[in-house]
Every structure is written in structure tokens, then in C-alpha cells.
């Protein structure tokens, strides 16, 4: 799973892509939910609230094409997901709330100015603890980024210490791969996978068979997802 909450322009936000991924929804449907909330805010005379808490942005897929996404503050996120009421969705809401709290506390520490020597020492210790917590994630990311741009799924399975067939099954079970072991389009759009046509000779004919490759970003994503599921 991607980082749920991140820092953008000095504040804690999440975005429509992350919400779609975590709650298992189509990104277009999440954008629709956001539009509905913004329209209701405008009807209620709260246009200023919508301008402050929702911000349109863009992301690029692996082909370099730009698509729309929306960044949301915690208040905006709460409005959008209030209708997601399944037991699983409630668990995800709690995780988001906890992550918003953690990121906001991190921001407070970063911008706080120590007034005593003891406060300066405490701030340094807190930052060191944060770095130590993130160290395994950073090392894993660097490990994968330093490899080839694209890797076959079998190579990724070997690096992650899981059998090739087991990894394929895991990706299908988690609705990342379809039955033919190719990724759903939304995961290609997020830059996790690249699908290329590979010519294969079948007697006198040559057919193009899709070959899935994992990007460095995709390896990092799978690695974190495996850790989450196994933990």
C-alpha cells in the first residue's frame, strides 16, 4: 500500500488515487464522489471550504500521459468517505485518521522552534526515532530502485523471497492481476507495471503475447503489500 498521507505545500493531505486504491474503488468513482461533495458545499454556501480543502492536481502514467487527481485535507477526506460504511472501510478510515495525526505531529515537530536546550535535545531525539522507523522502508526502496528499470515477475519473486507461482496467486487474490496474470489498468496507470507485446512463434504464425514487467515503484509497492498481509 502506498503512503496514506503525505505532505503537500506544508500540510497533511491524501489524494483521490490513494483513496481509490485503499478502499478498492475505481478512481473515476472516487472523483465522482468528490465532485458531489464539492457541489453540495457550493449549494450550502461553503465554497471557501471546498477551495481550501480540495485541490485539483495531475499525475502521469507510465506512458507519460497526464490524468486528473484531487488532493484532500483530512476534513475533505472525511466528507468524501463518510458514505463508505462497510466493516473493512471503517478499518481503513481509522488507519487514515491515525496517519493524518502522525503526519500533522511530524509537521509540528519540524516547524517547532525549541526555546530551551532540553527541548532542542528532545526534538533531535524525536527526529532520530522517526528516521530509524523509516530506515527499513528507505533501504528497501533504494535496493529496488538500484536494479533494472523493469523486472519480470519471476525476478521480483526471487528478490522478495517468495515463489513465482505464489506471487502470481497473491497478486490475483488482491485484485492487482487479472486471471491471465496481467495487471488491471489502474495499477499500470499508477506506474507499478508495464505490459509489452512479446512475439511468439506458433507453427507458421507469430502471435503477440502480453508480457508483464514490474517497475521499481511496483516492486516497492508489492514488497510493502506483502509485509502488510503477512504481518
**Please, what is the average pLDDT of the chain?**
81
Domain positions in the chain are 6-111, 150-230
Give the pLDDT band of residue 217 (cuts 50, 70, 90).
confident
Residue 88 has pLDDT above 90, yes or no: no
Pairwise CA distance, residues 212 & 185, whole Å: 12
Q: What pLDDT is attached to residue 37?
A: 94
Q: What pLDDT is attached to residue 81?
A: 94
pTM to 2 decimals? 0.50
Q: Domain spanning 150-230 has what CATH number?
A: 1.10.10
Residue 181: left if φ>0, alpha if ψ -120 to 50, beta else—which one?
A: left
Contact in structure between 126 and 109 (CB atoms under 8 Å):
yes
Share of the chain above pLDDT 90, in %: 34
Residue 135 has pLDDT above 60, yes or no: no
Strand ranges inside the chain, DSSP E: 6-8, 11-15, 54-60, 66-72, 150-152, 193-202, 205-215
Instruction: For residues 45-74, give the mean pLDDT.
Output: 88
Give the pLDDT band of residue 113 (cuts 50, 70, 90).
low
5 to 119, 133, 139: CA distances (angstroms)? 27, 16, 20
> Vertex 25, ends 20 and 28: CA angle to 5°?
75
Give the pLDDT band of residue 147 (cuts 50, 70, 90).
very low
| CA 210 to chain CA centroid, nearest Å | 25
Residue 34 has pLDDT above 80, yes or no: yes
Highest mean pLDDT among 1-10, 64-73, 202-211: 64-73
Residue 146 has pLDDT above 60, yes or no: no
Q: DSSP for 107-155?
A: HHHHH----SHHHHHHHHHHHHHHHHHHHHHHHHHHHHHTS-SEEEHHH
Pairwise CA distance, residues 107 & 100, whole Å: 11
Pairwise CA distance, residues 150 & 217, whole Å: 10
CB atoms within 10 A of CB 172: 14
Share of the chain above pLDDT 70, in %: 76
Residue 166 has pLDDT above 80, yes or no: yes
Residue 145 has pLDDT above 80, yes or no: no
Amino acid at each position: 500500500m502506498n503512503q496514506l498521507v503525505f505532505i503537500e505545500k506544508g500540510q497533511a493531505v491524501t489524494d483521490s488515487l490513494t483513496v481509490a486504491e485503499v478502499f478498492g474503488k475505481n478512481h473515476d468513482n472516487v472523483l465522482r464522489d468528490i465532485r458531489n461533495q464539492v457541489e453540495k458545499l457550493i449549494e450550502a454556501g461553503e465554497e471557501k471550504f471546498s477551495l481550501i480543502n480540495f485541490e485539483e492536481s495531475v499525475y502521469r502514467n507510465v506512458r507519460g500521459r497526464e490524468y486528473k487527481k484531487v488532493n484532500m485535507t483530512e476534513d475533505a477526506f472525511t466528507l468524501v468517505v463518510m458514505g463508505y460504511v462497510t466493516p473493512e472501510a471503517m478499518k481503513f478510515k481509522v488507519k487514515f485518521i491515525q496517519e493524518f495525526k502522525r503526519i500533522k505531529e511530524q509537521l509540528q515537530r519540524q516547524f517547532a522552534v525549541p526555546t530551551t536546550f532540553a527541548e532542542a535535545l528532545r526534538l533531535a531525539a524525536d527526529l532520530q526515532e522517526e528516521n530509524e522507523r523509516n530506515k527499513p522502508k528507505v533501504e528497501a526502496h533504494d535496493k529496488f530502485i538500484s536494479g533494472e528499470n523493469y523486472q519480470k515477475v519471476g525476478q521480483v519473486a526471487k528478490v522478495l523471497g517468495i515463489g513465482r507461482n505464489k506471487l502470481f496467486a497473491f497478486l490475483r487474490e488482491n485484485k492487482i492481476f487479472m486471471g491471465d496474470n496481467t495487471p488491471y489498468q489502474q495499477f499500470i496507470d499508477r506506474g507499478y507495471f508495464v505490459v509489452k507485446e512479446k512475439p511468439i512463434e506458433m507453427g507458421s504464425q507469430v502471435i503477440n503475447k502480453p508480457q508483464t514487467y514490474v517497475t521499481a515503484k511496483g516492486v516497492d509497492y508489492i514488497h510493502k503489500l506483502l509485509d502488510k498481509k503477512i504481518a
